[in-house]
Structure 1
Amino acid sequence: MRSIKILSLATLGALALSSTAFAQDGNGDTASGKHFAVVGGISLVQPKNDPINGVGKVDGGPAPTLSASYYFNDNFAVELWGAADKFDHRVRTDGGAKAGTVEQQPIALSAQYHFGQADNTFRPFVGLGYYESNFSNEKIDGLSDTGNHVGVETAKGAIGTLGVDMNINSTWFARADARYMHARPDLRIAGQNAGELKLDPWTVGFGIGARF
């Protein structure tokens, strides 16, 4: 959480400076016509509550994220986005007690539309695409310890994105975004299907990007 606070402050600082920094860029450089962008940041993921009977909550957590985009023009882009490390989750019972742990690492490919002109200080965008998230190190207290294998199948489905880029200059920008993943993977215990996990997580992310 400390890393999220630090990056949030950095993003707010970039936002405060962006309106003047871009206006003072008098060398004639422009963000328009640049086709590639990369963003590094951190995201917090939070699955929905009550994903399956007996599980009250799957705690969210932070992880570093990376994305690379190709812009066909100033407005339309395709983005490859993913977690550079795994999101760690603590699984809790209906009463709030720890029931186990699991990790996941999503990757997504999305088409995006960026509103407004390339040199605008604020550039909102929306995206829609497909993602997969691999789960690993699944453990349920009292089951995994007795040799009963616990597994969560790979989540696959649609991902939607809402975000805004805040131009610092023609190359650098700060980004804030929110992503929704339709995640309904099956839970398997000792090789048997134990039901569908209705996770459907949201992510909230902050990052710094460069275009070229």
Structure 2
Amino acid sequence: MMRFRHLTLAVVATLAIAPSAFAQDAGTDATTSAGKRFAVVGGYALSEPTRNPEIAGSRTYFDGDGAATLSASYYVTDNIAIEAWGAADKFGNRVKTPNGKVASVDTQPYALSGQYHFGTPANTVRPFVGLGYYEANTDGEKAEPTGALAGRRIGVETAKGAMATAGVDLNITPTWFARADVRYMQDTTGQPNVAVDGVNAGKAELNPVTVGVGVGARF
């Protein structure tokens, strides 16, 4: 949780100063990335669930985790982009109840979204927003050897729904840039079922927020 808060504060600070820096930067004549249509970004994100679902009659708490991320974008214009984004590794979530840890599960989200990048490629600071569709593959479900679910088989369905993105790119050169972003994933397809020994035991509505930083290149 402390790692998530620190990274969140860093990203929020970057997003907060972006509008003023963006305004000051407008109209610059520096060499830009105008006309470059492809971009790739490698980064790291922390994911934190925003919901605490009730499973098998008990309120549960899913811990957050960090993982490497990758994205690839195609710029239809200098302002409009289509992005494919996903976790390059799995987010590990410990599942707790008021009586302690009862299980663990891994999630690996990926998404496709449209984005609008404000300003022109001449700007050093370029905020952006996006909206798209995500799925989060779930596997590695495992009950703790002691606790309420000990010795039982657990299954969690894939989460699916809408993803909203807000972020900012800091252009270092016409090719290289740094990125900070926040993504919110809202399950909009009825919430994934949780089964215990093959019997439905609840819904895993997590609606996670990810906070990430990364370095990218345009070409």
State the TM-score bracket (shorter-chain normalisation).
0.7 to 0.9
Equivalent position SS for 1:182: strand
In the other structure, the counterpart of 1:85 is: 89
Query: What letter is aligned with 1:46?
Result: E
Secondary structure of the 2:206 match is: coil
Mark the runs of 5 or more structure 1 residues left unpaired by the alignment.
none
Alignment match, 1:136: 139
1:52 aligns with 2:59: no
Partner of 1:119: 122
- Residue correspondences, number: 196
Give 1:206's aligned residue.
213
Q: SS at 1:194's partner residue?
A: strand
1:143-170, Cα deviation, whole Å (9 max, x unpaired) = 7652x32010011111110100011111
Letter in 2 for 1:63: A
Q: Secondary structure at the match of 1:169?
A: coil
Partners in 2 of 1:91 and 1:144 — Cα distance?
A: 11
| Aligned residue number for residue 109 of structure 1 | 112
Report the counterpart of residue 40 of structure 1 in structure 2.
Answer: 42
* C-alpha distance in 1 between matches for 2:43 and 2:183: 14
RMSD across aligned positions (CA): 2.6
TM-aligned CA deviation for residue 107 of structure 1: 0.7
CA distance in 2, matches of 1:190, 1:44: 31
Tell me, which stretches of 5 or more residues in structure 2 are unaligned? none
Distance 2:105 2:79 in 1: 38
Please say if residues 152 and 186 of structure 1, whose CA atoms lie closer than 8 Å, have aligned partners that are also in contact. yes
Deviation at 1:104, TM superposition (A): 0.6
Secondary structure of 1:116's aligned partner = coil
Percent sequence identity is 53
Q: Could you tell me whether the CA contact under 8 Å between 1:48 and 1:58 is conserved in 2?
A: no
Partner of 1:100: 103
Moved over 4 A (4+): 142-145
Instruction: State how far apart, in whole Å, the 2-side matches of 1:52 and 1:123 are.
Output: 41
Deviation of residue 140 (structure 1)? 2.5
Q: Which moved more, 1:192-201 or 1:31-40?
A: 192-201
Pick closer, same or farther for the CA change 1:96–1:123 going to 2, 3 Å. farther
Work out whether 1:171 is the aligned partner of 2:175: yes
Counterpart residue identity of residue 87, structure 1 = F
Give the structure 2 partner of residue 190 of structure 1: 197
In the alignment, the residues of structure 2 paired with residue 160 and residue 47 of structure 1 have an alpha-carbon distance, to the nearest angstrom, of 15
Give the deviation of 1:56 after TM superposition.
3.5
Letter in 2 for 1:59: D
Distance in 1 between residues matched to 2:99 and 2:181, nearest whole Å: 29
Give yes or no for contact 2:135–2:160 (8 Å, CA) kept in 1.
yes
Change (3 A) 1:88 1:28: same
CA deviation after TM superposition for structure 1 residue 177, in Å: 0.3
Amino acid of the structure 2 residue aligned with 1:116: G
Q: Is the 8 A contact 1:57 1:96 kept in 2?
A: no
